[in-house]
Amino acid sequence: MTSTSNQPKKSSGLLSNLLINVVIPAIILSKFSGEHQLGPVWGLVVALAFPVCFGVWELKHAGKVNFFSVLGVISVLLTGGIALLQLDAKYIAIKEAAIPGAIGVAVLISQYTRYPLVKKFILNGELLDNAKLYAALEQQQHTLAFEKKLAQAGYLVAASFFLSSALNYILAKVILVSPPGTTAFNEELGKMTWLSYPVIVLPSMAMLFFAIWFIFSSISKLTGKELDSFMHTP
């Protein structure tokens, strides 16, 4: 009998992520933070406990450290820390902008190194057989042309993070107007959580998907082969 201990573990689905990271915290913050329910402090603690515990569980379940999962947990902890210490809400706006902004800067800087991060984002070794891909590009003498396409995609990926940074900051500044430690602040934080997906995530993801489509279509054009021929078979 074949052991399944080394089989890759599936990550949680989109619905689970939305439910635990967005829906449940937003409902608790908006509906259960009043003085006659959990109160503003415990309402905040309980709401943020869901994404933190889920993030830690995902890290343990995956069996390896995922940079973005770790960043997500840190981001939630920072939000909770700023709110519980009742610091000015502007620090949450700065934090919301700083994290995607820092990733954008890292992507941009890496463009000028031997290891551009865009290859990690788009040329995922778990999805594509990169050795086979580069052999086909070499055969067509299009390796340099493909590297230029990757560089262009890298700027698109960096731009998506800069867009997220700007939208994060604007949304936080517009919505978080009450002092932390109050029911009103929790309700505003819940509203910001709800709006983050249509206002921030969707436009940023649209840019990322365009960058992925740009590279995948370039692979077919430059190699003369279908993208499927470079994908790992199960």
Within 13 Å of residue 154, how many CA atoms lie on the same side as its CB?
Answer: 22
Within 13 Å of residue 39, how many CA atoms lie on the same side as its CB?
Answer: 4
Number of H helices, E strands in the chain: 10, 0
Looking at per-residue confidence, does 214 or 69 come out higher?
214
Distance CA 189, CA 90 (A): 13
Rounded average pLDDT over 31-36:
80
Query: Looking at the predicted structure, is the pLDDT value of residue 170 above 90?
Result: yes
How confident is residue 169, by pLDDT bands cut at 50, 70 and 90?
very high
Query: Looking at the predicted structure, is the pLDDT value of residue 78 above 50?
Result: yes
Looking at per-residue confidence, does 158 or 230 come out higher?
158
Query: Looking at the predicted structure, is the pLDDT value of residue 159 above 70?
Result: yes
Q: Whole-prediction pTM value?
A: 0.76
Domain boundaries, the chain: 14-230
Q: Which residue has the tokens 């082969």?
A: 225
The predicted structure's pLDDT at residue 64 = 62
